[in-house]
Amino acid sequence: MDLIKQPCPWYVAGPLIGLTVPTLLILGNKAFGISSSLRHICAACFPANISLFKYDWKNERWNLFFVAGIILGGLIATLFLNGNHAVNINPQTHALLQQQGVKNFKGLLPADIFSFSQLLTLRGFVFMIAGGFMVGFGTRYAGGCTSGHAIMGISNLQWPSVVATCCFMVGGFVMTWFILPYLLQL
């Protein structure tokens, strides 16, 4: 049981994630990606006269089971496999975040930013509501999420996925080094 409570090393997790792509392609000619599952849920639950949702979502129900498995796995890991310790991050990153006022590092996310008590503050609104909207909009605008483009698209040698992944990385660097310090001051 102690083995499963430890983080999976990159050299194990990386190849397992990488092998997901050929497995999906070989077993069912399916493309790996998560963001399309929200479209399938909307098409199933809210049938409307919207062209985006007019398709046979039942052919993609495997994706909904895949996402449900991710959610269930995360729930099991959080409830039963959590070692009740903070996520192990680089000490320099930890020090920089503490300088910016982020001090509570228990759990997967810092509670100083991501908690229900912070949701009704300006900081919580910016990070959770505005940030969530921007992630959703960006995913739709880019035609997929980071996992879809970086894992599936690049492995299929799709040039738009290479461009999208480079833009995701540049956006992440700009956010981390130039925008995040200002947002943490809210």
State the average pLDDT over residues 55-61: 85
CA atoms of 57 and 41, how far apart (whole Å): 8
| pLDDT interval class at 140 (50, 70, 90) | confident
**1 confidence band (pLDDT: 50, 70, 90):** low
Is the CB of residue 113 less than 8 Å from the CB of residue 106?
Answer: no
**Nearest partner of 39 among 183, 140, 163, judged by Cα:** 140
Q: Which of 32, 27, 61 is nearest to 44 (CA)?
A: 61
Are the CB atoms for 113 and 100 separated by under 8 Å?
Answer: no
Q: What is the mean pLDDT of residues 157-166?
A: 92
What pLDDT is stored for residue 117 in this prediction?
Answer: 84
Q: Is the pLDDT of residue 89 over 70?
A: yes
Looking at residues 148-153, what average pLDDT do you find? Answer: 86
Q: Report the percentage of the chain scoring pLDDT > 70.
A: 95
Average pLDDT over residues 144-164: 87
